[in-house]
Amino acid sequence: MTAAGDRLGPTLFERSRPGRGGGKVPHPPKDTLSRIPSDQLRAEGPNLPEVAEPELTRHFVNLSQLNYAVDSGFYPLGSCTMKWNPKVNEWAARLTGFASLHPFAPDELAQGTLQLLWEVEQWLAEIAGMRAVTLQPSAGAQGELTGILMVRAYHRSRGDLARTEVLVPDSAHGTNPATASMAGFATVSIPSAPDGGVDLDAFRAALSPKTAAVMITNPSTLGLFESRIGELLAAVHAAGALAYMDGANLNAIMGRFKPGEAGFDVMHFNVHKTFSTPHGGGGPGAGPVGVGEKLLPFLPVPRVLREPDGLFRLERPGERTASIGRVRSFAGNTGVLVRAYAYLRAHGASGLREVSDDAVLAANYMKSQVTGVLDVPFSRHCMHEFVASSATLKAQTGIRTLDVAKRLIDYGFHPPTIYFPLTVEEALLIEPTETEALETLDAFVQALRSIVDEAHSDPDLLHSAPHSSPVRRLDEATAARQPNLRWRPMTGRQMPCPD
């Protein structure tokens, strides 16, 4: 099956014409081929498409314009924080001193980058109320694994080998239970209470001498602040377990709530979400991890240290033996951390608090506007995102959240996150972020209203949406079970055979 519409056009292989060639390489040395040992020369040229340079450029530029991006429109993907990424960050990350620094450069030649990394660590520690931060992990998920490996090392260092379980609320991101099992723990799922918070009684009942850690997302993936967080953390510590905070939703609480001061022992940051790096399509990212006193000895190596003389250096091998070791090459995803630095410095402390306040304001505004259009299961004040549901619409018209999401594409919007969290039927998780204009928020709500009208008047239009996108609706079962993502190459130098 092919899902390609007209706008996708032929592939480069299909455009290829023998002898048409690409661009010119300036002045190749005349003896290039004779310098390669003859047994390493291929007998035939590679099967690369032959197209002229302008055709090649247009092909990729046109493809790039089929992408939906924050730079082209509203992208309210809940939990992902697809906010505007200021262009000054890109400028900073491309500065030659950062971008061209060799990862093996000796500390003396890397002082600027080391100082920047050290300062990012100080900022993050201050924002989270943590003692120290490792910048090494490449993403939130890897940050989680790093954090839980430190928890494991902590219990082992005390000879406490009985702690084999990690408690995770049922509204958690899938990476939380995945992390727990990758680190060798059994996951115990904790149900949510009717108000969307963790069910405190079920939580207390699940805590035991077997509990190594509890992973809590706060605000939760329902966009709700865990109002009984003090009681929860007291119970965790009374049981001798440690508290992990999934900090993906930090953009709701900066300057208002410090997880470390509240009693969390460890948390990760999604730097690419909260501190703005373009992160569609799986990367790039950075998932620094902050720790309190107890986990300090176990931080990955190498940390960036500041010497009494003000110079910076990386920890040397063997310098801190309790460390869980390295979790990534070099010092981390430095380009993303440079962007975070630019963002942190541009906003300052009061600016960051404003970011959170505006994100919460935008979400509550949208929530009030969506109420009455779709179901809004939790009426209490939300944080930076809120959950809506098409359950009533489905009962009335047969139109599901999937249809609503696909139809939003025809209205020019990226759909919100759908069917997550799993605890809400026909869920839409909407995160407007602080960077959108009031008119944009209103236009999105208006589109939702129109779609609900269409659901009553012309449901078939919705079942077959989207109608305007380069790729039409996929058969999701086939796409998931028999993905055919490979273009079969031509044989020899013949024209490609369609397959």
Write down the least CB distance from residue 169 to ligand PLP, Å: 11
- CA quadruple 203, 205, 209, 211: dihedral, nearest 10: -30
Considering only residues 278, 287, 292, 466, which one is a binding residue for ligand PLP as defined by CB under 6 A? 287
Region near ligand PLP per CB under 6 A, out of 25-33, 139-147, 341-349, 454-462: 139-147
Nearer to ligand PLP, 114 or 172 (CB): 172
Region near ligand PLP per CB under 6 A, out of 135-143, 194-202, 434-442, 449-457: 135-143
- CA quadruple 101, 127, 417, 371: dihedral, nearest 10: -150
Question: Binding residues for ligand PLP, how many (CB under 6 A)?
Answer: 13
Contact (CB, 8 A) for 174 and 422: no
Nearer to ligand PLP, 117 or 286 (CB): 286
Considering only residues 51, 128, 133, 139, which one is a binding residue for ligand PLP as defined by CB under 6 A? 139
Contact (CB, 8 A) for 172 and 217: yes
Considering only residues 49, 76, 140, 421, which one is a binding residue for ligand PLP as defined by CB under 6 A? 140
Region near ligand PLP per CB under 6 A, out of 51-59, 124-132, 138-146, 473-481: 138-146
Q: Per the structure block, which two tokens stand in for 458? A: 């012309």
Footprint on residues 62-91 left by ligand PLP (CB under 6 A): 79
Considering only residues 50, 121, 165, 246, which one is a binding residue for ligand PLP as defined by CB under 6 A? 246
Considering only residues 223, 259, 285, 290, which one is a binding residue for ligand PLP as defined by CB under 6 A? 285
Footprint on residues 359-418 left by ligand PLP (CB under 6 A): none
Rounded to the nearest 5°, which phi and psi values hold at 163?
Answer: -85, 100
Q: Can residue 423 be called a binding residue for ligand PLP (CB under 6 A)? A: no
Which x/- pattern over 164-203 shows residues binding ligand PLP (rule: CB under 6 A)?
---------x-x----------------------------
Question: Residue holding tokens 């899902």?
Answer: 3
Give the residues lining the site for ligand PLP (CB under 6 A). 79, 139-141, 173, 175, 217, 221, 246, 248, 270, 285, 287
